């Protein structure tokens, strides 16, 4: 199992990024909120761009924004493995998939807990990752929604049915207990479980 670390709940982001960089974590998960798609707002890109000064890990960018096309070109400048935006965002999904790929960055689509899995079907041939939200997007530290287990299964079945090479990433409320409810996932994204602990590596290892 791969692990992606979210610093959304960090009290000291530079310090926590350096600590994460000293672990074997696979990716740094960058939560971006615009105050429109979700209520909260994260720091502007002018500040966010500095994260690469504290970590050499590849980034897994999660855009929780209404208009991904405004953010994709900026984040594409960073060391991204994936840029993921929501299927519920207001813009043309296919256009934004093409925009991410035009930078030779892998493209993900995030799906919120209340959105039907079948909405993903038209885009499956064009994407590299599905970010299954196991909490309502918008803030860290929430509890894992149990129904996610069924949703992961349903998505895994779809990927197999269409014989596609798509990675499943599960985001929200992940810890050493809920990880067992994510059978079928390839990546687990965890925030508070890691950054609120005194031993980052121990928590990361417990998720593998």
Active-site residue list: 31, 171
DSSP state of 34: B
> Which residues, in sequence order, are bridge partners of residue 111?
132
Taking the complex as a whole, the smallest distance from the CB of residue 17 to ligand DX5 amounts, in Å, to: 14
Q: What is the number of the residue whose Cβ is closest to ligand DX5?
A: 191
Angstrom distance (rounded) from CA 18 to CA 23: 9
- Distance between CA atoms of 92 and 144, rounded to whole angstroms? 30
Site for Zn ion in 14-33 (CB under 5 A): 31
In sequence order, what E strands does the chain have?
Answer: 2-6, 27-33, 58-64, 80-86, 106-111, 129-133, 167-171, 187-190
Site membership for Zn ion, residue 34 (CB under 5 A)? no
Q: Which two tokens stand for residue 89?
A: 């965002």
Q: Is 81 in the site for Zn ion (CB under 5 A)?
A: no
Q: Angle at the Cα of 83 (from 78 to 87), degrees rounded to 5?
A: 155
- Kindly state whether residue 171 participates in binding Zn ion, applying the rule CB under 5 A: yes
Binding partner at 193 among ligand DX5, Zn ion, none, C-beta below 5 to 8 Å by kind: ligand DX5
| Binding residues vs ligand DX5 (CB under 6 A) | 6, 8-9, 29, 31, 62, 135, 137-142, 171-174, 189-193
Which of ligand DX5, Zn ion, none has residue 191 at its interface (CB below 5 to 8 Å by kind)?
A: ligand DX5
Which two tokens mark 91? Answer: 């813009």
CA distance 68 to 34: 10
Residue 106 or residue 157: which is nearer to ligand DX5 going by CB?
106
Closer to Zn ion by Cβ: residue 19 or 62? 62
Using CB under 5 A as the binding criterion, the count of chain residues that bind Zn ion stands at: 3
Q: Please say which residue, 93 or 188, places its beta carbon nearer to Zn ion.
A: 188
């Amino acid at each position: 199992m791969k692990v992606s670390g979210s610093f959304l709940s960090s009290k000291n982001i530079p310090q926590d990024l350096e600590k994460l960089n000293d672990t074997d974590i696979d990716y740094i998960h960058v939560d971006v909120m615009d105050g429109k798609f979700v209520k909260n707002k994260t720091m502007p890109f002018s500040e966010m761009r500095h994260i690469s000064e504290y970590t050499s890990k590849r980034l897994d960018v999660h855009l929780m924004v209404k208009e991904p096309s405004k953010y994709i070109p900026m984040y594409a400048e960073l060391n991204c493995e994936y840029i993921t935006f929501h299927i519920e965002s207001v813009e043309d999904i296919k256009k934004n998939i093409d925009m991410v790929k035009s930078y030779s960055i892998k493209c993900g689509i995030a799906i919120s807990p209340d959105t039907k899995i079948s909405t993903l079907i038209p885009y499956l041939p064009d994407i590299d990752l599905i970010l299954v939200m196991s909490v309502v997007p918008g803030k860290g530290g929430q509890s894992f929604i149990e129904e996610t287990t069924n949703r992961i299964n349903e998505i895994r079945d779809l990927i197999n049915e269409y014989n596609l090479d798509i990675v499943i990433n599960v985001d929200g409320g992940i810890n050493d207990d809920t990880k067992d409810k994510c059978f079928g996932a390839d990546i687990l994204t965890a925030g508070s479980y890691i950054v609120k602990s005194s031993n980052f590596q121990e928590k990361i290892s417990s998720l593998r």
